[in-house]
Amino acid sequence: MNAFMEPCRRPSGFYRAYFATKEEAEAFEADPANTDYHGDIAHRCGKCGRWHLSRVERLVPEFARRMTSVN
């Protein structure tokens, strides 16, 4: 990870929550005070190299979700 690379931003312009390690992200998700992040998955960002928390439906592309319902 390039320490000088700017972290990712949300469409609103605010920085996304980011973490240096997967363990930090998972601990943040498990904290009872952070109810907005409960159920999120820790994943390494391909843009900034940091760890983010995201809903699983945001990580799986739409076409892949559609293909699972096709026999």
Domain count for the chain: 1
3-55 pLDDT, tens digit each: 567 889 988 999 999 999 999 999 999 999 989 999 999 999 988 999 999 99
In a domain, 3, yes or no: no
Tell me the Ramachandran region of residue 3: left when phi exceeds 0, alpha when psi lies from -120 to 50, beta otherwise. alpha
List the one residue out of 3, 11, 12, 13 whose CA is nearest residue 50.
Answer: 3
Q: What is the pLDDT of residue 54?
A: 92
Provide the whole-model pTM. Answer: 0.73
Range of the domain at 44: 22-67
d(CA 45, CA 15): 13
Whether residue 15 is contained in a domain is answered as no
